[in-house]
Amino acid sequence: MASKVFAPAKINLALHVTGRRDDGYHLLDTLVSFAPVGDWLTISDAETLSLTVEGPEAAGVPTDMTNLAMKAAALLAGRRGARMVLDKRLPAASGIGGGSADAAAALRGMAAPALDADALLRAHADGILGLGADVPMCLASKPLRVRGIGEGLEPVALPDIPAVLVNPRRPVSTPAVFKAMTRRENTALPEVLPALPDADALIAFLRGTRNDLEAPARAVEPVISAVLDALSAQAGCGLSRMSGSGATCFGLFTSEDDARAASRAIAKANPAWWVASGVLGDQSGAAMPRLCESEEARAQ
């Protein structure tokens, strides 16, 4: 038997950098939601811990202990081995938590069925945060407000919203983006978020927020501006913004039909770009490990 775990993409709808600690870690106030697109991790019993990477975005992804999924599995493995096969569908170093989502999937798969995401965080909080600021939020895979260096997770009620995700296939270094920042002490999100009953309300609210990493990321990788322009030009796009430290950007829509049409148009005009569409929201149910036969687990 094997377990198969979905690793959904994380989208920073807003990302405010509010300061930096003495140890160099930046303080964030971010609003995140999750996409129905992502990687898949299959975990089978084995004597040792190993990772194989395949799929359309597998090129260049390490399979040793520099891979976050391997580090996450080792955190829970103890004396247990595991053979992991990662079907890599999200571009690497792209600001949508691909590696962190894979790590979270490894944690969920290795812990199941004994521990759920909340129990995992309680039992291994420091170790999980040590894997990276995005890993705790990716472990939850549901709309959150996240503060601090990634440890302050607060579930929030956000409406589902159609979106188009676009990555120009230019990996962006997160340290380089933070280094390019000219201001690190910025205002936080409102202490109390307003009621956001639908996609129109969410878009209107987000227009008054920011991604403080977007300007420095554009300086590091100017093609991000072209991606944002392509999204903004699509019919029905209410907001375009970069996610995380880039280079993936997203456009928000109120109509799934408009989002799908925009996705097709951008992909046709820019065949070298990675383009996906879907409804952002709570993916925690989809991210739960599912038991299946080893051979069947590999089939999509």
Q: Is 39 a catalytic residue?
A: no
Known binding residue 278? Answer is no
Cβ partners under 8 Å of residue 274, min gap 6: 57, 91, 94, 165, 166, 167, 168, 169, 248
Known binding residue 91? Answer is yes
Known binding residue 96? Answer is yes
Catalytic residue from among 134, 142, 212, 258: 134
Known binding residue 281? Answer is no
- Tokens 């995140």 locate to 32
Q: Is 126 a catalytic residue?
A: no
Using CA atoms, how far apart are residues 186 and 9, in angstroms rounded to an integer?
26
Known binding residue 50? Answer is no
Catalytic residue from among 10, 71, 88, 142: 10
Known binding residue 244? Answer is no
Known binding residue 55? Answer is no
Using CA atoms, how far apart are residues 239 and 146, in angstroms rounded to an integer?
21
Q: Burial level of 79, CB count in 10 A (0-12/13-18/19+)?
A: exposed
Q: Please report which helix (H) or strand (E) contains residue 155, including its range.
A: strand 152-155
Structure tokens given for 18 = 């509010």
Known binding residue 98? Answer is yes
Cβ partners under 8 Å of residue 59, min gap 6: none
Closest residue by Cα to residue 137 from 289, 22, 287, 251: 287
Structure tokens given for 264 = 């097709």
Known binding residue 93? Answer is yes
Known binding residue 130? Answer is no
Known binding residue 94? Answer is yes
Using CA atoms, how far apart are residues 34 and 284, in angstroms rounded to an integer?
9
* Residue positions annotated with a catalytic role: 10, 134
Binding-site residues from annotation for ATP? 91-101
